[in-house]
Amino acid sequence: MADPTAPRPTTRRAVTRADVAREAGVSTAVVSYVINDGPRPVAATTAARVREAVERLGYRPNLSARALRLGTTDLIGLIVPDSSNPFFAEYALEIEQAAARRGCSLVVANSKGSPSLERRNVESLANRQVSGLIVASATAGDRVDLRARRDVPVALINADGPVSGLSTLGPDFRQGARDAVEHLIVEHGAATVGLATGPRRNHTAYGREDGWREALARHGLPAGPILEDEFSRAGGYRMGRQLLRGDAPDLPDALFALSDLQAVGLLRALHETGIDVPRDVALVSFDGTIESEYCWPGLTVARQPIRAMAEAAVAAVMDAPSEHQVFRTELVIRRSCGCESSEPVVVTP
C-alpha cells in the first residue's frame, strides 16, 4: 500500500540514497562517496555497481538534505533594484553564468529601490542559507543594513568605495565619466556640457558627477545645466522635455547622461522635438548596455566591464572576500558624440 504520510503530495516516495545502497548492495556511505567523488576512495567495481543502481533507479540526490547537512546551498542570492533594467539584466546574466560554472544557481530578488525591502530580501536569502549574497544597493553603500550577513559572505556591486566587512567592487565611475566628457570637449570642442543625473540620495551618482565636473575644470569650462531625475528611460525623457521647454530653449553643446537608460529617454525627447543628435546636441552616457549600441544614433558610452565584474563578484563570495576592486570603463565611440564611426554598426559577437 502507498504510504499516505508524505508531507506534501509528492506523487510517490522519491528514490533515496538508501534505495540505491540496497540495490547496489553497499552502504549509504559508499553511495555518498561515489556520488561526491570523495572524501573516501571507493573500489572501481563497487563504484560502477553504484552508478548502475543510480541509473536504474533514476536516483537524484535531494539537495535540501544536502544543504541542511552542509549548512550551505550552492545558491547565490542577487538583490537588485530592478532586474528588468537592462543593465542589471545583463549583469544578472553574467552572474548566473559565473555561478553556473561553479555549480551554483542564482536566486534573484528585487528591492525596487526600497531600503526596507532590500533589508527584507537580505534576511530572507540569508535564511535560505545562500552560499553568498551579491547586492546592488539602491541606497548608499554604507547604509546597507546587512545584519543578516552573520554567516553569509556579501559582495556589494556598483559600489563607489570600500565598506568595512564587505567585499565591494564597482566601475571607476569618476574615470569613466571624465573620459566621456573629455572626449566631448577635446574631440568635439564642446564648450557647454550638461549633466543628466539621478536621484541625489544615490551615492553612486557622486563619482560620475565628479568626473563630469573634473573634465570641465581641467579645460577651464563652467558647469553646464544640471538635470535630475530617476535612473530610467522615463526619467531621461522627462529631463529631455524639461531641457526643451520654453520657446527658445538654450541647448548646451553636449550632454552627459549617467546611464544608458536616461540617454535613451533623452534621445526620445530630442527626436520628438526634431532636434538632431549629434548635430544639435552631442550625447554620451555611462554603462554601455547592448541597448546603447542599437538605438539611433548609437550612443558613445563609457562601458562597464560587466562580465569581469560579475566574475569578480561571484569570486568574492565563493572563493575569498576581497578589498574594494575598481574596474576601468572603456570609452566606446559611436555616433551620438559626433564621431563618424567607420563601422556602420558594431555588432556584438
39-98: contacts with DNA (CB under 7 A): 39-43, 45-47, 61-62, 65-66, 68-71
CB of 31 to its own copies, least distance (A): 15
Q: Confirm or reject binding of residue 151 to its own copies (CB under 8 A).
A: yes
CB of 337 to its own copies, least distance (A): 17
126 binds, among DNA, its own copies, none (CB under 5 to 8 A by kind): its own copies
Q: Confirm or reject binding of residue 28 to DNA (CB under 7 A).
A: yes
Q: Confirm or reject binding of residue 340 to its own copies (CB under 8 A).
A: no
255 φ, ψ (degrees, to nearest 5): -135, 140
Dist CA 319 CA 311 (whole Å): 11
287 φ, ψ (degrees, to nearest 5): 135, -65
Cα four-point dihedral sign 46, 50, 51, 52: positive
Q: Backbone dihedral region of 230: left (phi > 0), alpha (psi from -120 to 50 degrees) or beta?
A: beta
Q: Which is nearer to its own copies, 18 or 217 (CB)?
A: 18
Instruction: Please give the size of the binding site for its own copies, defined by CB under 8 A.
Output: 72
Which member of 2, 23, 33, 79 binds DNA (CB under 7 A)? 33
Between the alpha carbon of residue 18 and those of residues 15, 98, 116, 216, the distances in Å are 8, 34, 44, 71
* Residues between 92 and 111 that touch its own copies (CB under 8 A): 92-93, 96-97, 100, 105-110
Q: C-alpha grid cell for residue 75? A: 545558491
Q: Confirm or reject binding of residue 143 to DNA (CB under 7 A).
A: no
From 7-15, 111-119, 283-291, 296-304, span contacting DNA (CB under 7 A): 7-15
44 burial via Cβ count (<10 Å: 0-12, 13-18, 19+)? exposed
From 32-40, 85-93, 189-197, 327-335, span contacting DNA (CB under 7 A): 32-40
283 φ, ψ (degrees, to nearest 5): -145, 135
Facing residues of 154 across strands?
133
29 binds, among DNA, its own copies, none (CB under 5 to 8 A by kind): DNA
Q: Confirm or reject binding of residue 25 to DNA (CB under 7 A).
A: yes
Contact characters 168-207, its own copies, x per CB under 8 A: ----------------------------------------
**Are the C-beta atoms of residues 47 and 24 closer than 8 Å to each other?**
no
Which member of 52, 272, 276, 319 binds its own copies (CB under 8 A)? 272
163 binds, among its own copies, DNA, none (CB under 5 to 8 A by kind): none
Q: Confirm or reject binding of residue 237 to its own copies (CB under 8 A).
A: yes
**Are the C-beta atoms of residues 255 and 283 closer than 8 Å to each other?**
yes
SS3 89: helix
Between CA 80 and CA 21, with CA 70 as vertex, the angle to 5 degrees is 130
Q: C-alpha grid cell for residue 161? A: 568605495
Q: Residues with Cβ < 8 Å from 215, sequence gap 6 or more? A: 177, 178, 180, 181, 182, 185, 193
Which member of 25, 127, 165, 200 binds its own copies (CB under 8 A)? 127
Between CA 293 and CA 304, with CA 299 as vertex, the angle to 5 degrees is 75
Q: Confirm or reject binding of residue 125 to DNA (CB under 7 A).
A: no
Alpha carbon 335 to chain centroid, angstroms: 26
* Residues between 4 and 33 that touch its own copies (CB under 8 A): 6-8, 10-12, 14
Q: Confirm or reject binding of residue 227 to its own copies (CB under 8 A).
A: no
Q: Which is nearer to DNA, 27 or 105 (CB)?
A: 27
Q: Confirm or reject binding of residue 217 to DNA (CB under 7 A).
A: no
317 binds, among DNA, its own copies, none (CB under 5 to 8 A by kind): none
State in Å, rounded, how far the first CA of the chain is from the last one: 58
* Residues between 277 and 306 that touch DNA (CB under 7 A): none
Q: Confirm or reject binding of residue 265 to its own copies (CB under 8 A).
A: yes
Q: Backbone dihedral region of 112: left (phi > 0), alpha (psi from -120 to 50 degrees) or beta?
A: left
Binding-site ranges for DNA (CB under 7 A): 5, 7, 13-14, 16-18, 25-33, 35-36, 39-43, 45-47, 61-62, 65-66, 68-71
